[in-house]
Amino acid sequence: MSTSQRIDVQSFLNEQPFSGFQWGIFILCGLITMFDGFDTAAIGYIAPSLLKEWGIPKPALAPVLSAALFGLAAGALAAGPLADRFGRRRVLITSVFLFGLASLACATASNINELTMLRFVTGLGLGAAMPNAVTLLSEYCPDARRATLTNAMFCGFPLGASLGGFLAAWMIPHLGWRSVLVLCGVAPVVLGLVLIVFLPESVRFMVARSWPARRIAAVLSRISVTAAYVSEFVMSEKVRTQSEKGGLGLVLSRSYIVGSVALWVTYFMGLVIFYALINWMPVLFGDAGIDPRTGTLIAALFPLGGIGAILFGWLMDRFNGNRLIAVGYALTAVGVFLIGHAAGNVGLLMLTVLCAGTLMNTAQSSMPALAAAFYPTSGSATGVAWMLGIGRFGGIAGSFLVAALSARKLGFADIFLYVAVPGVIAAIALLVKEHAHPASADAEHVEHGAEIVGH
């Protein structure tokens, strides 16, 4: 067969059927997000046991509940630029090993201060893993299915958080709270070994960094053998300027800054809600007279609702993603408010938590796909990572918010009213992004052959 002179990588991905090789990447990245969600939420599920065993007051839980979130923010902010420079694969594998080993160390903690420090280290790995999993998968997706596939993969996070709740409800009474942290550590370490063998580097990153054509062809030939005969690869990008900036310089550039800030605000507010509820619902339900095991099971329903993001991904591939997700956040505010008025009926409370969680996690899980589509390859990992990293401070704020509200002796319903407000703010921020960067304009100003790999 003759050697083709060049092909456009994204056009190649758009034209080929979604291969088993790409499904393998989807599964591996989905497992990373699932273990990330499991580990991130675990501290909330073991919180009642910590209160009992170590004899500490509820406000003293705030530092350990938020320690991983500080690490998540730091890990994400650092990992994005590193991945745009050194590659998604290398940073991703390192981060998975880091949060796995740190979780194992958490299981040996003997006091709240030790656990707080080790949860921060765990958070560094967790924060670095998530944005790179999102970015790597999105860069192997065809344009027409990118949001659907990315959202479906990101569903691993709320599913992992929910699974952690169900497992914790069984494990803690039988094996103790430390067993939850042991499982959070062993599973990622095993996955990390699998990633070393099977996870490829992002093909779009390889093109952008001018890797040898034979290495790119070797990867793309696993999608279609026709790529094996190509000697040169190019890549089309959606760009708004002719700037050579990449990484953080691009994310903060005049062409992207309004959209970047809007994404940060939205994700920040979403995580205020998520962590305020996932960390504190078991404790708040206990205060409302619900037994600890039932409270943990009900709280586990909240992240389970993230499977709705698959539907949102399908809709985002066809309609305006900014407006769609904004509606999701507005409805989230309504759902969270209603949780505060359902404590007297366990059945109604379960239904309300599930519905609110579906709305919340559907909107939040759709954000990485929205961010990945907003930036070109030279800044994609940084753009997604900084949204996730800055957003993690919202998780910290959410953890301290409920602690502060509890310290002021606010009632059950009043606490959920305050937690609902960030959903409204998130919806407004996305409408601002849509006004500044209309979705219809994203398809314009395409520069073909922006990156070329020579022989």
Helix (H) / strand (E) containing 235: strand 233-238
DSSP state of 376: -
Q: Where are the alpha helices (DSSP H) in 288-376?
A: 292-304, 309-316, 321-339, 346-365, 367-374
Beta-sheet pairing, 7-8 with 446-453: unpaired
Q: How many CB atoms lie within 10 A of CB 54?
A: 14
Q: Highest mean pLDDT: which of 8-12, 55-59, 155-159, 450-454?
A: 8-12
Distance CA 153, CA 365 (A): 9
Is 143:285 a contact under the CB 8 Å cutoff?
A: no
Domain made up of 7-453: CATH architecture:
Up-down Bundle (1.20)
- pLDDT band for position 444 (50/70/90)? very low
**122 against 306, higher pLDDT:** 122
Query: What is the rounded average pLDDT for all residues in the chain?
Result: 84
Tokens 């800054």 — which residue? 257
Residue 243, SS3 per DSSP? coil
Please report the pLDDT score of residue 198 as a whole number. Answer: 94
Instruction: Kindly tell me if the per-residue pLDDT of 453 is higher than 60.
Output: no
* For range 439-452, the mean pLDDT: 42
* Full strand arrangement of the beta sheet holding 7-8: 7-8, 233-238, 446-453
Please report the pLDDT score of residue 4 as a whole number. Answer: 55
pLDDT tens digits, one per residue of 211-256: 888 899 899 999 988 888 888 888 766 554 444 566 788 888 888 8
**12 against 314, higher pLDDT:** 12
* For range 68-85, the mean pLDDT: 85
Please report the pLDDT score of residue 447 as a whole number. Answer: 42
Distance CA 342, CA 349 (A): 5
Instruction: Kindly tell me if the per-residue pLDDT of 200 is higher than 90.
Output: yes
Is 114:181 a contact under the CB 8 Å cutoff?
A: no
Please report the pLDDT score of residue 237 as a whole number. Answer: 62
pLDDT tens digits, one per residue of 19-62: 999 999 999 999 999 998 888 878 878 888 888 888 888 777 77
Please report the pLDDT score of residue 65 as a whole number. Answer: 76
Distance CA 212, CA 225 (A): 18
pLDDT tens digits, one per residue of 136-171: 998 899 988 888 888 888 888 878 887 887 888 888
Please report the pLDDT score of residue 246 as a whole number. Answer: 62
Helix (H) / strand (E) containing 1: none
Helix (H) / strand (E) containing 220: helix 213-220
pLDDT tens digits, one per residue of 384-402: 888 988 888 888 888 788 8
Q: How many CB atoms lie within 10 A of CB 318?
A: 11
Q: Highest mean pLDDT: which of 1-15, 42-56, 59-73, 108-122?
A: 108-122
Distance CA 186, CA 73 (A): 23
